[in-house]
Every structure is written in structure tokens, then in C-alpha cells.
Amino acid sequence: MSRTVEHHKTTAVDSPEALGAETPEASIDALGTLLTPSANSWWRGDTIYQIYPRSFADGNGDGTGDLRGVRQRLPYLKELGINAIWYTPWYESPLADGGYDVADYRRIDPAFGDLAEAEALIQDALALGIRTIVDVVPNHVSAAHRWFQQALAAEPGSPERARFWFHPGLGENGDQPPTHWPNNFAGPTWTRLTNEDGTPGEWYLHLFDPEQPDLNWSHPEVVQEHEDILRFWFDRGVAGIRIDSAALLVKDPALPEIPENPGPGEHPNTDRDELHTIYRGWRRVAEEYRDRAPLGGRALIGEIWLPDAERFAAYLRPDEMHTAFNFDFMTRQWKAEELRASIDLMRDAHAPIGAPCTWVLSNHDVTRVVTRYGREDSSFEFLKKRRGIPTDLALGTRRARAAALLTAALPGSLYIWQGDELGLPEVEDLPDEERQDPMYHRSNGVDPGRDGCRVPLPWSGQEPPFGFEPEGSTAPTWLSQPADWNTYTVEAQRKDPGSMLNLYRRMLEFRERDAALGDGPFRWLTASDHAGFGPEVLAFARADGFISVTNFSGEPFALPERAQLLLSSSPLEGGLLPADTTAWLRLTQHPSRTN
């Protein structure tokens, strides 16, 4: 049975009490069919596939991916078993930051297609039961956006400039920037304009590239315009909005420097309390669409990087966003205690507000997971010198397989970055002249940037472009693919039963069919459930006797006997679960509890 738009798995809000999970006598057998139906809330447990349109598939043969390419490959995604697609920005853009510099939300960048093609893609996907999520980038626009162009043409103090953060400089000649806030891409955060007569002018704020001027969210037109953009895409059948840099929009108008240890809500440009009013407004827009068939609920999904889990979860209160990316988990080391702590931290933060967790191993901004997990230090941090760090790809791949099953079994929704289902490694040796990411250029190469995880996907054949382009096209791909990616192609992996692709397919098939997976109950299993479960062997139970076990111990592990093996990330060895492997099991007996 496959999930469709009209009919999809509905499961309960996590309720450990209902499982007796907190009582010492609770046993894994106590996890029965305790699911209760919930509202039309697909975002609580669906599998969402992230597409970077530039690098997914090229339909017109110019070396850049496009919407036609995605349309042609929808059957692949259906077969993979995903429920929704999140597209990184596909709007008109100079692509100074890969599309996160939006010039016009109501047009598609000509490199990717046009609005009619996007509408057709949304409908084609829907016909396969796949929802669409678009990316909205409210913190900033492109310098090419009409608002910024109008602001540049207008005088200091004009209404056109009031939509942004234009400010005179400090110091006698105004040649000092208004603040010394750090830039997310390294380098300056303010850029000074030159007046028409050649004299130096005002400064404008950009927390990212100078091509991405920050909007002033205390301006009512900025608020109104974004609510209209949401409606524009909801009206076209979009089911969810991924909100870019969601915690950065509001700035302290007094423009103070950042205090040494800012208390909650005290940072001048991050996580300010006024943000919640903005997202309550967005939620009201989403609610307008809630009951419209066939999509049902429309979801707001936040990109929120905040170290404080409680502050993070505050954005997920019932009248704000529906869910947000769990970066805490994504940036942790491949270590049992780290991942367990992260799972607990995030579940505890989400529980009081009834919001679902998300599980993410990577995305278009971070090092590919097989490369990261093959490093001695497998954590992730931006603006850290990360070039030339040795990695063991075989080990990283083994761990990435185990991580895939571990995350797919946790309660909540699952996000898959395109190419992770192929086990693609980070392309670390891209020629420097090909690198486009401002993060690389603005950090003077300290941060290798994000191009290495954005290389066009390999589909088939023995040499570049590996089926990325239509047959016979010879245009070089916008980033070059490694010559030895023939073993990573979809075509090659389809034929190999042990491939990453086939693991993902089986995993997602289970996730789709098995009511225990996705949203729903969860309980850690301990040594009192089975000898050896504990600090180095992370084991947990879901409903219906479903169990997930990940072995971090370095030693083979004896699994419970009363269990049927459903799937494992690497083959068992002599009946034992090898190191860096996850197994999914189902208890074969459910003796009723006697006490």
C-alpha cells in the first residue's frame, strides 16, 4: 500500500506515558498497537527529499539542472519512496548564492524553466502522491530585486530605503561601518555605497553576501509581501514552505554591538522575540488553506540554527511553525553518547509543545555524510578549516548506512539530501576556479564552501556527465563531476543489491508501509530489556514490537533471539550485528504482560 495525497499514514503524537515507557517494569513487549489517528499532518512523519534544481537533472542539455529534468525523473523519486520534495530556491536570481538571492518570487529563473513548468511539476508530483515544498528566503533579497534597485536610485531617508537597513557610517567621515557584527559568509557585514557624484554614501546591511541586502521586517510592506508570496505558492498547490535563515529577520533598530553573553532575546540580529509575531502571521496564512483538498494542511518548516533547544522549540508552538530542521543531530559526531544526547535533547524540547522532531543527516550547506563520518572528528561546523582532512570513505559509507536506518526509525519526519541515497562523497578536489560559493570566496578559502556537496548527480553511463544531461549533450556540467563516479550512478546501483540506493529503497518502503515508523511512540531500550543494550548499543522500540539497534561498540553484538530481522545496514556476521551497523527488528512474540 502506498501513501497518497488523499490517504496517508496518520499516527499519534508521541506519548511515552501511554506506553508505560517511564515505568521500571515496562518491557519492550508492552509496545503494542497503541497508535491513535491524528489530524491531517503529513509533516509529522513523512520522508522529504531535498532537490537542488541546479544539480539534480538537466532536461535541456546546457549543463545546469532544471525543472524539466526533475519532471523526467519523478518516477525515480516515486520508486525511491519519498512523500514530498523540497526545492531549494528556483526563482529568478543572479545566483550569487545559488538562488538564495531572490530577484523575483513570482518567476522561475530562466536557467531552470518558467512558471508554467513549475506548475506542471507540482501537479505531476501530486499525481504520484508527492507533495511540494518551496523555499522562501525572508531575511534578504537579491541586490537585483526591484525593491533594492529602487532603494539604490532613491535618496537617504527615502521610503524606498526604509525597506532595508541603510545607515550612515560611524566616525568623523562616516567611513566606519555602523556595527561590527560578523558575517555568516565571513568578511564585512555592511557595504558602503557611492553616491552619483562619486562621494561615499550610506552603508547597507547584509548578514550574508553583499548581493543579499537584509530586509527591514519592521516595515509593513515587507510583512505583507511575504504573506502574499506564501499565498502565491499555496495557490499553486504547494504544501509546505521551508523558511530560510528563519531566526535572523529581526534586528535591534538601535544597532548595538553583540554583547559578550547575550541573554535570551538580547542578540541584536538573531532569535529576537519579535520574530514570533511574524511567524504567527505566516501560520494564519497556512491555516487559510488547511482544509483545501487534496493537499490538506500546509506546513511551515524553519531553518533555525540556535544552540539553545528551548529557544529553538519556541518557534514550533502550536500557532507558529509546524516543524524545523534538527541541526543539533546533523552536526554531532558519530558517537553513541553524542547521538543519544542529541536525540534526548531534541525530543525533550519538542515534547512539551507537541511538535514533531525532524531527522537530517546533511543538506546543501554541509559536508556530505559519507565523507564526514569517515573523518576522525566527524562533527560539522561552518567556517572551520576543513580542506584536506583525511577521510576513510569505506568507514564513512558504512556509518552513513547505519545512520540512515537509525534516523529513519526515529519518531518524526525524515529529510534526505539528493545524492545521499547514492552515498555520494563530498567532492573535495574541485578546481578552485570552478568554486562558486561565496562562503569559499569570502573566507579566502578557509571554509572550502559548499560546492563539493552540490556536484551534479550521476545517473548512468561510464563517464561525465553520467546521464545528468540528455543523451548526446556535450555541455560541461556547471560543476565538474569526478571521472570515477561510474560506480555511484543510479544505473549501477540499481543492479547491485548491496548498494546504498537499494538500502534506501528498502528502508523507505518499510517506512511507508510500517505504521510503527514516522510519527508515534518511542522508548529507549536498556540492558534490562536485552543484555548489552545501553551506552554503546543504541536500541529503541517503536510500536508493534518494532526495534532499531545501532552498534557503536566496535565489537559484534548478539541481537535478541525473539526477534525477526527486517533490515540491516550491513550484513550480519555469524548471526551477530557488526560494528557501525543498524538492524531493524520485529519481536516475533508479544506475550501479554502478567504484572
Candidate residues 11, 64, 189, 245; the one interacting with ligand NOJ per rule CB under 6 A: 245
Candidate residues 365, 421, 469, 512; the one interacting with ligand NOJ per rule CB under 6 A: 365
The nearer residue to ligand NOJ, 244 or 421, going by C-beta atoms, is 244
The nearer residue to ligand NOJ, 137 or 479, going by C-beta atoms, is 137
Shortest gap between Cβ of 487 and ligand NOJ (angstroms)?
A: 29
The nearer residue to ligand NOJ, 364 or 523, going by C-beta atoms, is 364
Shortest gap between Cβ of 416 and ligand NOJ (angstroms)?
A: 16
CA distances to 5, 67, 365 from 81, in Å: 13, 20, 24
Q: Which of residues 47-106 bind ligand NOJ (CB under 6 A)?
A: 97, 100
Shortest gap between Cβ of 31 and ligand NOJ (angstroms)?
A: 37
**Cα–Cα distance measured from residue 583 to residue 245, given in angstroms and rounded to the nearest whole number:** 36
**Cα–Cα distance measured from residue 512 to residue 163, given in angstroms and rounded to the nearest whole number:** 45
Backbone angles phi, psi at 584, to 5 degrees: -105, 130
Give the number of other CB atoms < 10 A from CB of residue 190: 22
281: CB partners within 8 A, 6+ apart: 223, 227
The nearer residue to ligand NOJ, 54 or 523, going by C-beta atoms, is 54
263: exposed, middle or buried (C-beta count within 10 Å: 0-12, 13-18, 19+)?
Answer: exposed
**Residue 114: all three cell numbers together:** 518558467
**Cα–Cα distance measured from residue 159 to residue 479, given in angstroms and rounded to the nearest whole number:** 41
The nearer residue to ligand NOJ, 245 or 436, going by C-beta atoms, is 245
Shortest gap between Cβ of 244 and ligand NOJ (angstroms)?
A: 5
**Residue 123: all three cell numbers together:** 501537479
Query: Over the Cα atoms of the chain, what is R_g?
Result: 24
**Cα–Cα distance measured from residue 572 to residue 154, given in angstroms and rounded to the nearest whole number:** 69
Contact 96, 436 (CB under 8 A): no
Residue among 80, 78, 77, 70 nearest 122 (CA): 70
Shortest gap between Cβ of 331 and ligand NOJ (angstroms)?
A: 14
**Cα–Cα distance measured from residue 41 to residue 130, given in angstroms and rounded to the nearest whole number:** 14
Contact 147, 217 (CB under 8 A): no
The nearer residue to ligand NOJ, 137 or 457, going by C-beta atoms, is 137
Shortest gap between Cβ of 304 and ligand NOJ (angstroms)?
A: 11
Shortest gap between Cβ of 454 and ligand NOJ (angstroms)?
A: 10
* Per-residue binding letters, 204-223, with ligand NOJ (x by CB under 6 A): ----x---------------
| 303 lies in the site for ligand NOJ, by CB under 6 A | yes
Closest residue (Cβ) to ligand NOJ?
100
Show the beta-strand stretches assigned E in 46-199: 47-51, 84-87, 91-92, 104-108, 131-136, 166-167, 190-194
Shortest gap between Cβ of 142 and ligand NOJ (angstroms)?
A: 10
Contact 316, 322 (CB under 8 A): yes
The nearer residue to ligand NOJ, 362 or 582, going by C-beta atoms, is 362
Shortest gap between Cβ of 104 and ligand NOJ (angstroms)?
A: 16
Instruction: Tell me how many residues contact ligand NOJ (CB under 6 A).
Output: 9
Q: What is the identity of the amino acid at 265?
A: G
The nearer residue to ligand NOJ, 98 or 296, going by C-beta atoms, is 98
**Cα–Cα distance measured from residue 117 to residue 466, given in angstroms and rounded to the nearest whole number:** 24
Shortest gap between Cβ of 137 and ligand NOJ (angstroms)?
A: 5
| 183 lies in the site for ligand NOJ, by CB under 6 A | no
The nearer residue to ligand NOJ, 11 or 142, going by C-beta atoms, is 142
The total number of residues written for the chain in this structure: 595
Candidate residues 137, 314, 408, 501; the one interacting with ligand NOJ per rule CB under 6 A: 137
| 202 lies in the site for ligand NOJ, by CB under 6 A | no
Angle between helices 67-80 and 115-127 (to 10 degrees): 10
The nearer residue to ligand NOJ, 138 or 297, going by C-beta atoms, is 138
The nearer residue to ligand NOJ, 208 or 459, going by C-beta atoms, is 208
Shortest gap between Cβ of 95 and ligand NOJ (angstroms)?
A: 11
Residue among 369, 273, 390 nearest 320 (CA): 273
Contact 108, 114 (CB under 8 A): yes
**Residue 439: all three cell numbers together:** 562562503
Binding residues for ligand NOJ, per CB under 6 A?
97, 100, 137, 208, 244-245, 303, 364-365
